[in-house]
Amino acid sequence: MPSTIVTIELNGTDRELIARPSTTLLSALRETFGLMGAKRGCAQGGCGSCTVLLDGRPVVSCLIPVVTVDGSAVETIEGLADGERLDDVQQAFVDHFATQCGFCTPGMIMSATALLNRKPDPTRQDVTEAICGNVCRCTGYEPIITAVLAAAERRRGDPAVPTPTVPTPTVPTPTVPARPAPTEAEV
């Protein structure tokens, strides 16, 4: 089968590429456009690390032939931040320590973004359903769920609740607080 010219609106800009029938949306993003945010964790549709938004819906881009999405809008992790200003979901993932190795993070954030676009006031169950196709082997998911719920709150505009970057523990006894005076290291 011959190659065809495909046009997509990629993070708000029209882009063209010449694609073979077997070219996936994931490889178009990574190899043609150099957008490396979407990851290839399995190429089988099983891990969610390649998740992007296709006309607003989260999809696993490794399973989608790019010729089938001609004329669609594609949003990737690279399109979320406003310059150096992180969007609310990204910021919440930073603040709530929702990343470890970070390989699942772009896909996770795109799934969460799709949810919050659709449902600004999600329940915990909404969140777990939205990210249930995204595998994370590091975090145990809890910090991710926390981050998504916090992002929803921020988006709804609750600036009265600033997100702490250096959180304080809530239970029995406090951890050693940061002190101004340093001391010699001891080994």
Subset of 45-104 contacting other proteins (CB under 8 A): 46-47, 49, 76-78, 80-81, 86, 89-91, 93-97, 99-104
* Closer residue to ligand FES, CB minimum distance, 79 or 107: 107
Sheet holding 73-75, edge to edge: 13-19, 4-10, 73-75, 51-54, 57-60
The letter for the amino acid at 146 is: T
Interaction site with ligand FES (CB under 6 A): 40-50, 60, 62, 99-104, 136-139
Count CB atoms within 10 A of the CB of residue 36: 14
Query: Is the CB of residue 73 less than 8 Å from the CB of residue 55?
Result: yes
- Asked if 18 is part of the footprint of other proteins (rule: CB under 8 A), the reply reads no
Q: Find, among 41, 40, 12, 13, the residue nearest to 25 by Cα.
A: 40
Q: Which does 62 bind (CB under 5 to 8 A by kind): other proteins, ligand FES, none?
A: ligand FES
Residue numbers 21-50 binding other proteins by CB under 8 A: 22, 30-31, 34-44, 46-47, 49
Distance of closest approach, residue 30 Cβ to ligand FES, in angstroms: 11
The contacts of residue 89 (CB under 8 Å, 6+ apart) are 80, 109, 112, 113, 116, 147, 148, 151
Listed ranges 8-16, 63-71, 115-123, 136-144: which one lies at the site for other proteins (CB under 8 A): 136-144
Shortest distance (Å) from residue 113 CB to ligand FES: 16
